[in-house]
Structure 1
């Protein structure tokens, strides 16, 4: 019995000895605290050597019908698109600005605004092509979608809108958007997160892509109302502030090729002479009685300290970039009342020229452009509520008096902040790469990556 008992216990004894043996071996090979620290530090160093960790973007290779073919449609003779070819030339920047002779107000020669220095007659809704071109030169672009933190979809939504919005039925207006949704949802990249890591640029206002929401059968398409698009982040020049669309700056006329060009322009506007207290560029809105444009124009007309460009039907000054930038560069404050929508390209033209913008509605800037403008809006702008302007109707000096009461030291601080913001409000020439300056494209991609990380983590 004893022998049998011993034999029965033997396997257990061996198991215990074996376990102790291997435990000793493993323990002897486990790293000490210092070794663990070294291993973690080494891993961290490897990651820190790659500046693109967490910033990789994969760009979808869409069929040309979603971008290149749409751009080629600028040559069509139908609708509103027929005269757009020059405006979307030069990688979407438009035609270079030609010198127009000396500044009649005694300032710098207008020759400073030439294509040689990065100035173009850029169409305000040309962001689709400009952003796509910048993405092609993005430093952290990857061909491995599994390594990417975001997927960029180069669909020319704004140009497609121009091609089919006027004179077509809703089915035709929506066809390209629906086609894109089908294509994307069948792609392997979509399956990873159902498109929540995707983003695209629709270089117009959000309202142009929300036909059902604005309840207008005669305007826009349903791109942003499609289920697929609701999962994506959509960059627009004016957000609806109700969904997954984010506002980024309108393209201006300046597209620098080097850091030096940016700094040189900042130096020019920092030292510019500004004889006008305020200025305005824009047309009245007689068909919109609640719009304060007419009152703003009347107050500018009634002030010897205000200058404006005539933009009524048939006027050409509003379409002359050199005239616009010259006026803003010679003004302390630039009046920016809402127009057809809350935001204006003019606000960015003004800040580009070092002019402090004056807003009359919070949606014109403060509730938008959260990646590009300071949260503390008093640092770079003046706010005069629309209701105050309406209540002051008849007092043509109300806006002038309001601006004149701002202490000179405060004005100088706002001007300095506007000049500081300039690099992040312009889109660099897509055919060149800036070195250290972060432009509007860089800030937009940075914001998208943060937003998508938060979305996926939640």
Structure 2
């Protein structure tokens, strides 16, 4: 008779239970590990680096880590899962590319049920680094047309180095050596702190494409074949048009920002001698809107202010500066900061310089001729503009110039000579009634010059001067870009140039969306040219000055 098998069966069962328990333990351990580094349930995970004070929030469905971190933050480096959706990071430490930054701001995870963001959500494309980050890293490649060495201007998230020696001209520590061509970098870094970012593109009212078009073309403007100048634009648009977000409105809810004038991206032929790239004439680009420091005659280009050197992080800093400009003593009737343009046939700058010099102590001329360094120093510029009642703003190499916004920042009343310098440009940021904040002396052709600047400005009543100056000073918050890492519209408690631009582009896209809802063709007029946009006809009068 065979022995009962109970003992052998129990022994096998015990080993089986142990084996199963061990396997379950391994499975649970792996599950916990995957929960740490990403899962498919959309949870949000916070990784803390307590030693360095860094808190990094990463959506578990995102494969994009856009946080600011130093080389010492080894404990927050982790593999991230697939399916890019959310790009959110709490930033409190310094970036390797911005070694002079004293502090970082915080980008919070936005609750997408917040009703305050309805209609304001923006989705940011996570572009390959060659279209933005690599351009910053290779800043030494930028040459003529911007600066011989752009790298010093790219510290502090594109603001440049902090100005230490104010010479009692500037106020507080909110002033930086900011380059006028770096709007796209500053805007992108402000967008990272935007209140209503979303990782769910289906919720987004607009899609932002953070391509540094200005930096890219700056490397290729001289001695480069047109095909090479266009290569990045062609590759970018192929990438963007291949994303599912494109099909929703065929790109008409997409926008990009450029730090150069829009004409630099509208080369109309493939002749090697022609200027710029043809980014804005490529088929996909025609469906997108572009914000730049100067717009063109086409309806899908919009102008937003050049960056000045003032980047406040608190409301009090703006209020203090405004109060300082109201109380400022102004010894000069008018001033001009610039250089002549003898190679431009219709340039009026030579006439303006002659009249300034002939006006003696009534006018202050700041020489910005090639090789002069006076205008590179924000202290010098502010010293002149804050001491002037009027600041002359003639066109330069193109219609616009950063000096417009430096003048407004100094509480100096701008005097314009062509509608394309401001009135037809900054429609979101400057009042439609341009007579409330500026003077207009239209000069259609230099041969018809009839303006006696000194006599004209002396004829403006004191009451009108006071009213104009007050309107100019009120404009200051709307034409400056706040510090991208330590301020938001909520803490600043007022809209800056970034906020106004975002509101403008959202309204623009909403109008297109309205056409779609009404079953109308949204392409009609979207990218059409307006040949009369910069003519004098819309602004009437030979001399729009009320005496």
Smaller-chain TM-score range?
A: 0.7 to 0.9
Aligned pair in 2 of structure 1 residues 358, 79: CA closer, same or farther (>3 Å)?
A: closer
Contact 2:307 2:480 in 1 (8 A): yes
Contact 1:427 1:441 in 2 (8 A): yes
Aligned pair in 2 of structure 1 residues 251, 213: CA closer, same or farther (>3 Å)?
A: farther
- 2:215 maps to 1:150: no
1:363-382 to 2 correspondences below 5 Å = 363-382=420-439
Separation in structure 2 between the aligned mates of residue 49 and residue 242 of structure 1, nearest angstrom: 36
Separation in structure 1 between the aligned mates of residue 137 and residue 279 of structure 2, nearest angstrom: 21
Contact 1:211 1:217 in 2 (8 A): no
2:236 alignment counterpart: 180
User: What is the CA deviation profile of residues 16-63 of structure 1, one whole-angstrom value per residue up to 9, with x for unaligned ones?
Assistant: xxxxxxxxxxxxxxxxxxxxxxxxxxxxxxx99621111110111111
Number of aligned residue pairs: give it: 399
1:117 alignment counterpart: 173
1:96 alignment counterpart: 162
Pick the aligned partner of 1:318 from 352, 375, 399: 375
Separation in structure 1 between the aligned mates of residue 271 and residue 402 of structure 2, nearest angstrom: 25
Name stretches of at least 5 consecutive residues in structure 2 with no aligned partner: 1-111, 516-547
1:289 alignment counterpart: 345
Give the SS at the match of 2:268.
Answer: helix
1:34 alignment counterpart: none
Pick the aligned partner of 1:355 from 412, 434, 437: 412
Give the SS at the match of 2:256.
Answer: strand
- 2:507 maps to 1:450: yes
1:128 alignment counterpart: 184
Contact 1:360 1:386 in 2 (8 A): yes
2:250 alignment counterpart: 194
Separation in structure 2 between the aligned mates of residue 354 and residue 125 of structure 1, nearest angstrom: 23
Pick the aligned partner of 1:429 from 467, 470, 483: 483
Aligned pair in 2 of structure 1 residues 405, 216: CA closer, same or farther (>3 Å)?
A: farther
- 2:219 maps to 1:163: yes
Deviation at 1:74, TM superposition (A): 0.8
Give the SS at the match of 1:219.
Answer: coil
Deviation at 1:96, TM superposition (A): 1.4
Contact 2:143 2:149 in 1 (8 A): no
Contact 1:74 1:82 in 2 (8 A): no
2:120 alignment counterpart: 55
Aligned pair in 2 of structure 1 residues 168, 213: CA closer, same or farther (>3 Å)?
A: closer
Separation in structure 1 between the aligned mates of residue 357 and residue 252 of structure 2, nearest angstrom: 50
Separation in structure 2 between the aligned mates of residue 184 and residue 405 of structure 1, nearest angstrom: 55
Aligned pair in 2 of structure 1 residues 100, 254: CA closer, same or farther (>3 Å)?
A: closer
Separation in structure 2 between the aligned mates of residue 263 and residue 376 of structure 1, nearest angstrom: 24
Aligned pair in 2 of structure 1 residues 262, 70: CA closer, same or farther (>3 Å)?
A: same
Aligned pair in 2 of structure 1 residues 100, 146: CA closer, same or farther (>3 Å)?
A: closer
Give the SS at the match of 2:290.
Answer: strand
1:339 alignment counterpart: 396
Aligned pair in 2 of structure 1 residues 407, 141: CA closer, same or farther (>3 Å)?
A: same
1:33 alignment counterpart: none
Aligned pair in 2 of structure 1 residues 340, 426: CA closer, same or farther (>3 Å)?
A: same
1:240 alignment counterpart: 296
User: What is the CA deviation profile of residues 197-218 of structure 1, one whole-angstrom value per residue up to 9, with x for unaligned ones?
Assistant: 0000011101100011797734
Separation in structure 2 between the aligned mates of residue 399 and residue 142 of structure 1, nearest angstrom: 52
Give the SS at the match of 2:347.
Answer: coil
Contact 1:117 1:261 in 2 (8 A): no
Separation in structure 1 between the aligned mates of residue 272 and residue 399 of structure 2, nearest angstrom: 18
Q: Which has the higher mean CA deviation after the structures are superposed, 334-343 or 66-75?
A: 66-75
Aligned pair in 2 of structure 1 residues 248, 215: CA closer, same or farther (>3 Å)?
A: farther
1:18 alignment counterpart: none
1:43 alignment counterpart: none
Separation in structure 2 between the aligned mates of residue 307 and residue 223 of structure 1, nearest angstrom: 41
Give the SS at the match of 2:219.
Answer: helix
Give the SS at the match of 1:386.
Answer: coil
Give the SS at the match of 1:141.
Answer: coil
Deviation at 1:98, TM superposition (A): 2.5
Q: Which has the higher mean CA deviation after the structures are superposed, 324-333 or 75-84?
A: 75-84
TM, length-normalised to structure 2: 0.70
Contact 1:207 1:214 in 2 (8 A): no
Give the SS at the match of 1:91.
Answer: helix
Aligned pair in 2 of structure 1 residues 77, 404: CA closer, same or farther (>3 Å)?
A: closer
- 2:340 maps to 1:274: no
User: What is the CA deviation profile of residues 281-316 of structure 1, one whole-angstrom value per residue up to 9, with x for unaligned ones?
Assistant: 000001112110000000000002000111222211
Separation in structure 2 between the aligned mates of residue 89 and residue 221 of structure 1, nearest angstrom: 27
Aligned pair in 2 of structure 1 residues 432, 213: CA closer, same or farther (>3 Å)?
A: farther
- 2:474 maps to 1:420: yes
User: What is the CA deviation profile of residues 357-383 of structure 1, one whole-angstrom value per residue up to 9, with x for unaligned ones?
Assistant: 000001111111100000000000000
Q: Which has the higher mean CA deviation after the structures are superposed, 82-91 or 62-71?
A: 82-91
1:386 alignment counterpart: 443
Aligned pair in 2 of structure 1 residues 100, 270: CA closer, same or farther (>3 Å)?
A: closer
Contact 2:307 2:402 in 1 (8 A): yes
- 2:461 maps to 1:407: yes
1:25 alignment counterpart: none
Deviation at 1:94, TM superposition (A): 1.0
* Higher-helix-fraction structure: 1
Name stretches of at least 5 consecutive residues in structure 1 with no aligned partner: 1-46, 102-108
Give the SS at the match of 1:235.
Answer: strand
Separation in structure 1 between the aligned mates of residue 303 and residue 272 of structure 2, nearest angstrom: 22
